[in-house]
Amino acid sequence: LTTGNKRITKDTVVIISSVTGNTKEVVDAIKKIKTEVGATVISFVDAKEAILLDLGDYKISYPMNEQLKFFMVADRFMFNNGELEDYEDMYAEFDKYLAEDLVEVEKKAEPFAIEFAKKHWNDEMHYFVGAGNQWGATYSYAMCYWEEQLWLKTKSITSNEFFHGMFEIVTKETPVTIYIGEDAQRPLSERVANFIPRICANYTIIDSKDYELKGISEKYRKHLSHHVMHAVNNRIDVHMEIETRHPMEIRRYYRRLEY
């Protein structure tokens, strides 16, 4: 909207996800993309009727599971482009096992989540570290969940950038959570995890490898790290609400004020 983007052309596919389907800035952006650029738009909107659904060339109205939507579309594009040869076998396993596996992850994470929430509900500042396909989820968890929904101050940083500035302000007491996935960038997060005990005694490591995914081949687990992380975080959130006595749907300013 402000600077344009030369990489977005009439041959671009734009994928959007929205709960309400009427966020003003997104609506304005998609209108500009449709009218001035002519790109193709795929709209995922939770609401059954919404402006962003109307603007989509392809539209799916289905609530929740935002990450799953994006990754499924991306995987399909990669498959169609010859970049994901195991796609059909991989998704056959996902279709059969993934939903129940993620439920089991939440069950296993429950005792950990209770203790984590009791320990960190009143942190003055909490640092979240992640890499690879964990990074987007790490960033959004810090911002959209702890800051926006729980009103707790956070900073998120990529594992590779942890050693550029941020680690100089970590002390023995600093709360740091490190997410470790199973994709190619796992060593970046392992590097942080291996180093952190030397300077901090208040760190937590959440490693997707610690959670069993029955029926999922080892070679496909790397695609699911962010879903495992999300399942663990779901349980943390429940107990953060309990400890803070703050329902996460309450907002101070979001959609309360004009901005």
Q: Taking the CA of residue 64 as centre, how many other CA atoms within 13 Å lie in the half-sphere pointing to its CB?
A: 2
Rounded to whole angstroms, what are the CA distances from 242 to 117, 140, 235? 9, 21, 11
pLDDT digits (tens, 9 = 90+) for 29-62: 999 999 999 999 999 999 889 999 999 999 988 7
Q: Domain tally for the chain?
A: 2
Q: Which two tokens stand for residue 79?
A: 């498959």
Residues 59 and 105 in one domain: no
Residue 251 domain-assigned? no
Residues 101 and 181 in one domain: yes
pLDDT digits (tens, 9 = 90+) for 201-212: 999 999 999 999
Counting residues of the chain whose pLDDT is more than 70, the rounded percentage is 100
| Helix (H), strand (E) at residue 236 | helix 225-244
Question: Could you give the CA distance from residue 184 to residue 131 in angstroms, rounded to a whole number?
Answer: 9
Question: Could you give the CA distance from residue 126 to residue 116 in angstroms, rounded to a whole number?
Answer: 12
Residues 147 and 217 in one domain: yes
Residues 25 and 111 in one domain: no
Residue 64, pLDDT score: 74
Amino acid (one-letter) located at 186 = R
Question: Could you give the CA distance from residue 184 to residue 126 in angstroms, rounded to a whole number?
Answer: 26
Domain containing residue 131: 86-244
Residue 77 domain-assigned? no
* pLDDT of residue 129 exceeding 90: yes
pLDDT digits (tens, 9 = 90+) for 163-216: 999 999 999 999 999 999 999 999 999 999 999 999 999 999 999 999 999 999
Residues 229 and 183 in one domain: yes
